[in-house]
Amino acid sequence: MRITLLGAGAWGTALAIAFAGKHEVTLWSREADVAVDLLKTRENSRFFPGYKLPASVVVATDFAAAVAAAELLVVSTPIAGLRPTVERLRELGCTLPLLWVCKGFEAGSGKLPHQVVAEVLGPQAVCGALSGPSFAEEVAAGQPTAVALAANDPAFARAAARQLHSRRLRVYANDDLVGVEVGGAVKNVLAIATGVCDGLGLGLNSRAALMTRGLAEIARLGLALGAHRETFMGLAGMGDLILTCTGDLSRNRRVGLALAENKSLPQILEELGHVAEGVYTAREVDRLARELGVDMPISAAVAAVLDGRVNAGEALELLMARDPKEEAA
């Protein structure tokens, strides 16, 4: 299959490496310097150093030509880049099936990725999300990984999952696009919370409690948006949550660790050097939860810390001071 990856950041580069052994891959870069680097050295030293791009991968800077070469498009930008990318596809009159790997709610609109795509390309666009417990570094290194592929067309989801499936990257079809997207979005917020917990030295009991109750928050919001409960027990729910909250490669966890040191958010993001989607998603999740009347105290606490309304220690005290209640999903 001919696959074009739209975006040459860490995930675009990692997936180009992962898909190259089985498919004809084009990697489109918006940044000319990144494309030059990839062409000269086959390495993305700016966004993904240390991993060589196979010689078979075509590096492109011409957007229209890269799209024209494809049978399947994969948007591999952060969520902030999703709308501009699909707007360019609309200008081209593109009707190719489309996947994305970004996770979050669009800042300002609070829309999930599939809602952004439907708004720009129309409800007839065949599209979906590739999500699950996966760090780009380990995918590029060929470490065994399993992810979910959910789409607005179940037949497309099953066909695409079969085509993208490989020995090292297992792809499971899923018919719950909303659930897969909500799981991928909110786990980043909870990873910030667990990073704070670990940074404050509160122990493994506290981390386990945050993750468990955080999963309940994910499920509550997902159900309110029409998701299926069982999705949150799978790869795009529990699986992604466990990885992002405990893995040292997690950018969002690193944000939480730095917040526990009372570093300012601008300083944290500058030192990180990459997008941490949970920073922008937290505010949208908190706002949406309030609008829908969904109880999400951990997510609200993260949003409060990021907005500077409380510090990390104060947020913990507020969470622990909540009245006792029966455990419920």
Once rounded to an integer, what is the mean pLDDT over residues 209-234?
Answer: 97
Q: Does residue 326 register a pLDDT over 90? A: no
Average pLDDT over residues 103-131: 97
| Position 320 confidence tier, pLDDT thresholds 50, 70, 90 | confident
pLDDT at res. 130: 98
pLDDT at 329: 58
pLDDT tens readout for residues 139-198: 999 999 999 999 999 999 999 999 999 999 999 999 999 999 999 999 999 999 999 999
Measured between alpha carbons, how far is 45 from 32 in angstroms, rounded to an integer?
13
What span, in angstroms and rounded, lies between the C-alpha atoms of 202 and 211?
Answer: 14
307 has pLDDT over 90: yes
Among the listed residues 103, 187, 263, 325, the single catalytic one is: 187
| 36-55 average pLDDT score | 96
35-68 as b/e: b if 16+ CB within 10 A: bebbeeeeebebbbeebebeeebbbbbebeebbe
pLDDT at 328 over 80: no
Q: What is the 3-state secondary structure (H, E, C) of the chain?
A: CEEEEECCCHHHHHHHHHHHCCCEEEEECCCHHHHHHHHHHCEECCCEEEEECCCCCEEECCHHHHHHCCCEEEECCCHHHHHHHHHHHHHHCCCCCEEECCCCCCCCCCCCHHHHHHHHHCCCCCEEEEECCCCHHHHHCCCCEEEEEEECCHHHHHHHHHHHCCCCEEEEEECCHHHHHHHHHHHHHHHHHHHHHHHCCCCHHHHHHHHHHHHHHHHHHHHHCCCCHHHHHCHHHHHHHHHHHHCCCCHHHHHHHHHHCCCCHHHHHHHHCCCCHHHHHHHHHHHHHHHHCCCCHHHHHHHHHHCCCCCHHHHHHHHHCCCCCCCCC
Lowest mean pLDDT, pick from 121-125, 217-221, 243-247, 316-320: 316-320
Model pLDDT, residue 324: 77
Structure tokens given for 160: 């695409």
Q: 54-106, pLDDT tens digit by residue?
A: 999 999 999 999 999 999 999 999 999 999 999 999 999 999 999 999 999 99
- Residue 24's contacts (CB-CB under 8 Å, 6 or more residues apart) are 1, 2, 3, 56, 58
Say whether 263 is catalytic.
no
- Tens-digit pLDDT profile for residues 12-42: 999 999 999 899 999 999 999 999 999 999 9
Number of residues in the chain: 329
Tens digit of each residue's pLDDT (9 = 90 or more) over 254-294: 999 999 999 999 999 999 888 889 999 999 999 999 999 99
CA distance 116 to 95: 16
| Domains parsed from the chain with CATH numbers | 2-175 (3.40.50.720), 186-320 (1.10.1040.10)
